Amino acid sequence: MSDERDEPPDDGSSDPAEAFTYNGGRVDPGESANIRYGISETYLGDPVRIPVTVINGKHPGPTVCLSAAAHGDELNGIEVVREVAHDWDHSMLHGTLVCLPVMNVPGFLAQERYLPIYDRDLNRSFPGREGSTSARRMAHRIFTNFIEPCDLGIDFHTSTRGRTNMLHVRANIEKPSVERLAKSFSSNVIIAGEGPAGTLRREATQADVPTITVEMGEAHRFQRRLIDRALTGVASVLAEFGLHPDSSVHWPGWRTVIDDDNEKTWIRADAGGIVDMKRGRGEFVREGEVICAITNPFKEEDDIVTVEAPFTGLIVGVLENPVVYPGNPLCHLVGLSADTRTALERERTTESSQSDLRPAGQTE
């Protein structure tokens, strides 16, 4: 088969769309492919293969990677990536989408966060290395074939099992290319920072593939409202970078960037017990307001430990499984500027809001 393209670019551009190539195959402009790509082998010698969908638009444009389930039990992102890959109309796509809905296949099969092979964390193993541990070899196959060839990346996560996160972006916004990507995703909250060594977003960004993490909800669930919000974010990114030129960038209504200057803390339990959580994900709390009470098995009044907000802020992450040892995290609280507080209060009264904020007690 010839590698020569016999068709001229149909938009008259001198910069025609290019084939997407990986070790073992190629996807030409105007084509899409569902691939099962081998990244390891099981104890039985069978291949461990990750699902990959590559959609190469007819028109030239950037290559964007959408990835999920680096932690095998974090499911919300899987549905985001699948819907973009298979439910959206990409007939006018300018560029290429590389969709990796389930990266940690062994963890996904076991419904566990880590690779169930010596409990390795795939999301601390990037960019990976041939000849190294099983996790790094898998990371290497994924990274070299499907991450490095991209121009941008969005990696979807949820909170760890037993906790939940409001939808937010984590990004090293000191890099202008990452900042542009982070802001175009249309989340209310961006937490700044480069992330731990070995995470996909840090190592991809380091390798000149600006990449953000999107945190959304809890493990072991499809949470429709959060999935829809993330899909709005993806559409907004594709508009910002010209992949869907007819779409528009979405403004989330208000935005706060949490950096080292902001107050932020994981509030931890100082007593063991059963937690009566009073506040939810995405809620605004004032300094001194009660966030939760830690109780003993007999609900004895004298033994109740109440936990108050140490400063006014937003609950970005919160405990769902209501039991703690001393030292366990109860909630992730971030401080807000006065302007953001005003915008947030205004939005709370607007019913048409797309925010993750919800009245106390309401569940998804």
The residue ranges that bind Zn ion (CB under 5 A) are 71, 74, 157
Rounded to whole angstroms, how far apart are CA atoms 212 and 234?
A: 12
Residue 222 or 251 having the CB closest to Zn ion: 222
Q: How far is the CB of 316 from Zn ion (least distance, A)?
A: 15
Residue 157 or 250 having the CB closest to Zn ion: 157
What single-letter amino acid sits at 112?
E
Q: How far is the CB of 151 from Zn ion (least distance, A)?
A: 23
- Residue 131 DSSP label: T
Q: How far is the CB of 301 from Zn ion (least distance, A)?
A: 39
Position of minimal CB gap to Zn ion: 157
Measured in degrees and rounded to the nearest 5, phi and psi for residue 112 equal -125, 155
Q: Which of 71, 205, 223, 113 is nearest to 151 (CA)?
A: 205
Residue 226 or 309 having the CB closest to Zn ion: 226
Residue 96 or 199 having the CB closest to Zn ion: 199
Rounded to whole angstroms, how far apart are CA atoms 33 and 22?
A: 12
Q: How far is the CB of 145 from Zn ion (least distance, A)?
A: 21
Q: How far is the CB of 123 from Zn ion (least distance, A)?
A: 6
Task: Report how far apart, in Å, the C-alpha atoms of 82 and of each of 95, 101, 115, 212, 353 are.
Answer: 18, 6, 22, 18, 25
Task: Report how far apart, in Å, the C-alpha atoms of 288 and of each of 55, 316, 318, 343, 360 are.
Answer: 51, 18, 17, 22, 17
Please, which residues have CB within 8 angstroms of residue 67's CB and are 6 or more apart in sequence? 77, 81, 99, 100, 103, 147, 153, 154, 155, 156, 200
Residue 313 or 317 having the CB closest to Zn ion: 317
Q: How far is the CB of 149 from Zn ion (least distance, A)?
A: 23
- How many other CB atoms sit within 10 Å of the CB of residue 106? 21
Residue 59 or 71 having the CB closest to Zn ion: 71
